[in-house]
Structure 1
């Protein structure tokens, strides 16, 4: 089921399929069948040319991008749309007929592009290229069924939403887990509280990534806080505890510069770090170092700066995050997704 450079040459019992506006059902031999009917840029060319490359979403409309039986594996998804809608377009993914989504997040943040700004990301699982071409390569196996929806939770219509979902029809191993993703925001973070990245996970699995969108509301360094991972019954104290925010994301000594690497990245999106109102994004993918859990998992991040007398200052910053993980089904219910006003970037 796994594909990489070490085995890409091997014969496989698999069939390739691709969903897009040009073949929304993904049926074999049914792509590029839209008829321009004498309209649009392809009106002189007819069927078989570029007629329907994207879809439009009315305000409040939900579109179904995938609603297909398995077994199979989603191998890659690509999206591009107006950056003004990055927090308004909500992606939801349902596995094997579950009534609750295993992925629920604003699509921009889910793909490491927050603050309604385009950002290039040279990560391996998530890769974003000029100008706003967003790709995700986390493999997503499903046994019975996969359903993907996109909701335009905005009062404005969204034109020119482009997408591609590439997947294979093939057997899925008995020990394959299901991909999950969940978005949360603390705005502002409560005094003396930690930002909760993930909580109340029940089942067996592995944690594979963190994305954060961070606005600092005080001047000075903001990244002294530690990540904590509570595993399999941990209560007051975690099993895994970091040493600083920039340390967890692979940097050191306050970052200084932007960087984007296969598993780690930091970017100053609006303003400069250590300035009031600076907006930043950070990511870490635990591809080589998944965090395994057998029963339950909770992940938090502290927000700490400095105050007089070399004392830590608990911060009340605007922090949003996406957690990425694999686990067994069924999963525990997610907290209700924040409404548009609570997600809004102002």
Structure 2
């Protein structure tokens, strides 16, 4: 009898997994559908049928005539502008930010912004430095794979979260640097998707505090109201003091929480699925994709010993995706991370966060972005590696 019960439970689990895949749009064998496939790039900026590859290249019409575009200092380029119901399925980009090519473009992935508008809302639901949006804090891509991002050895950037829209979608790239760079890109999407009016749209907010303030927890997600689902974040840490920085706990306040949250973690590295310090190791839903210690040293205040001490600055890029373990809220949500060192004391460091969540529109404006200078300062030692 117990064997029969076990078989039933296993079968139910497998069916549940298959059903979850179908709900997520992974029903690979379905061909009778109103959904149509499209793609935009500089070779087909409108995505219209039969309109790709028309540019004239060195070898003639339709022969690689517009694979890339130079993005000038201060230029804004519309990458995607579609009037329909649909879903963005994949974004790929590469450019002159690859280490072998970039020369003086070290900060270009922090200086350049990706901005997205859904369904006619006048202000954006996504406003984030390009590198952080594509999975690399500190404007420093490293090769890795996660459920949300994949980055190649030559720093090709891929983004995989679906981004639905019911009437229109617009994505703009803004070069806020004083440098010119090449951009190659492709956005793969579908149209005629049958979305409910209140479906969650992708929202991405970027924050940086340099430095953070003792006992004032760093806000990963400033307070949002209405229904939503927290997907996760790409976190950047630059250490400003000696010693271990990551004892702080994540706090997820939701639906009426006041002083204490509903969800509370045990440490910064614990939240990204690691332990006993941070290690450069990557997985589908959690990990650390950059753990760099500068060769040079500086003098900084050592809190436990109450004196100045020589230290090497550390740069960490880490991530956590709540996809198999969802975090929903019904009325409101706010997410913070404490700034605590080992063992135990309050400290200040340089923290950034690109935070991803779904929320229906109309939605409240995002928090203001830091200036170019505020986004890029402090990365000099990292780029000398």
Alignment TM-score, normalising by the size of structure 2: 0.83
Q: Displacement, 1:57?
A: 1.3
Q: Displacement, 1:270?
A: 2.7
Tell me the alpha carbon deviations over residues 195-237 of structure 1, each in whole angstroms, 9 at most, x when there is no partner: 1111121111110111101011122211100000110121211
Tell me the alpha carbon deviations over residues 275-321 of structure 1, each in whole angstroms, 9 at most, x when there is no partner: 63100110011110121001111011112113xxx4x2212111000
Sort the Cα spacing of 1:249 and 1:275 in 2 relative to 1 into closer, same or farther, 3 A: farther
Larger helix fraction of residues: 2
**Counterpart check, 1:65 vs 2:79:** yes
Gaps of 5+ in 1: 37-41
1:104 to 127, 130, 155: 127
Q: What's the counterpart of residue 78 of structure 1?
A: 92
Gaps of 5+ in 2: 1-22, 98-105, 295-309, 379-385
Q: What's the counterpart of residue 261 of structure 1?
A: 283
**Counterpart check, 1:50 vs 2:57:** no
1:86–1:114 CA contact under 8 A, matched in 2: no
1:335 to 367, 372, 375: 367
- Aligned-residue RMSD, C-alpha: 1.7
**Structure 2: distance between partners of 1:253 and 1:155:** 41
**Structure 2: distance between partners of 1:102 and 1:82:** 27
Tell me the alpha carbon deviations over residues 74-116 of structure 1, each in whole angstroms, 9 at most, x when there is no partner: 0001111233211011001100000111111001011111222
1:235 to 258, 277, 293: 258
**Structure 2: distance between partners of 1:235 and 1:333:** 23
SS of the residue 1:86 aligns to: helix
Moved over 4 A (4+): none
**Structure 2: distance between partners of 1:121 and 1:233:** 38
Tell me the alpha carbon deviations over residues 227-284 of structure 1, each in whole angstroms, 9 at most, x when there is no partner: 00110121211111101111100011113x3111111111344317x96310011001
Tell me the alpha carbon deviations over residues 12-58 of structure 1, each in whole angstroms, 9 at most, x when there is no partner: 2211110001111111111110023xxxxx2xx20111121011111
Alignment TM-score, normalising by the size of structure 1: 0.92
**Structure 1: distance between partners of 2:191 and 2:369:** 31
**Structure 1: distance between partners of 2:42 and 2:193:** 27
